[in-house]
């Protein structure tokens, strides 16, 4: 948020000097008390108030400048580290997502899951996901499991002793691997 302050409200030296000269002349001519002197006193009070307000505006400008500098420094720090969740750009849109860095593994995700099931007997979903994470892969293997089940390369068995399911190679996948 940027606050714009109108600098035109600051007093101009030429006008101020001219007004004081007029008030001095009026006071010299009109030394008696009356509506003119009340008006002159009110104008002087208004000028004093205006000077106080101008000083307060200058102080506000200084504080806002420090806040703006701090925000720029914070923004520079977050851009060095990467994307900050929920960050909003200057145009009100969410910040662009950072580019995804793909890792190269010796085996594809599907090959890794099939190999683990082949070597592990009948692993559970949790065991497959633990192996997935141990390999340094992100996320979980559940979408891969669903894909392999749909293709008929894996079979799911319900096991009341564990949460989730156990998986084993289907007959065609077992014969293809030999």
Residue 155: strand, helix, or coil: strand
Domain that holds residue 124: 109-177
**pLDDT value, residue 7:** 47
Q: Is position 157 within any domain?
A: yes
**pLDDT value, residue 61:** 94
CATH of the domain at 138: 1.10.10.10
**pLDDT value, residue 178:** 57
pLDDT along the chain (178 residues), means of 10: 46 52 55 77 94 95 92 78 54 69 79 87 88 87 90 87 84 69
**pLDDT value, residue 41:** 92
Cβ–Cβ < 8 Å for 168, 154: yes
Residue 20: strand, helix, or coil: helix
Provide the domain count of the chain. Answer: 2
**pLDDT value, residue 111:** 87
Q: Is position 88 within any domain?
A: no
**pLDDT value, residue 136:** 85
**pLDDT value, residue 66:** 92
Q: Which of 81, 101, 118 is the last residue of a domain?
A: 81
For residue 152, give Cα distances in angstroms to 114, 156, 170, 172.
Answer: 12, 10, 7, 8
**pLDDT value, residue 10:** 46
Whether residues 73 and 20 share a domain: the answer is yes
**pLDDT value, residue 119:** 87
């Amino acid at each position: 948020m940027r606050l714009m302050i109108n600098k035109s409200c600051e007093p101009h030296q030429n006008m101020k000097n001219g007004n004081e000269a007029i008030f001095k002349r009026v006071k010299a001519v009109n030394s008696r008390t009356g509506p003119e002197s009340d008006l002159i006193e009110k104008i002087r009070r208004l000028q004093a108030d205006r000077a106080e307000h101008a000083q307060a505006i200058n102080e506000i400008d200084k504080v806002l400048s420090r806040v703006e500098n701090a925000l720029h420094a914070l923004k520079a720090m977050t851009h060095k580290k990467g994307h900050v969740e929920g960050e909003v750009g200057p145009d009100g849109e969410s910040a662009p997502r950072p580019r995804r860095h793909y890792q190269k593994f010796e085996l594809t995700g599907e090959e890794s899951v099939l190999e683990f099931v082949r070597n592990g007997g009948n692993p559970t979903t949790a065991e497959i996901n633990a192996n997935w994470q141990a390999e340094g892969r992100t996320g979980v293997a559940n979408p891969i499991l669903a894909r392999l089940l749909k293709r008929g390369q894996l079979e799911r068995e319900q096991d009341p002793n564990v949460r989730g399911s156990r998986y084993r190679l289907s007959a065609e996948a077992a014969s293809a691997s030999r």
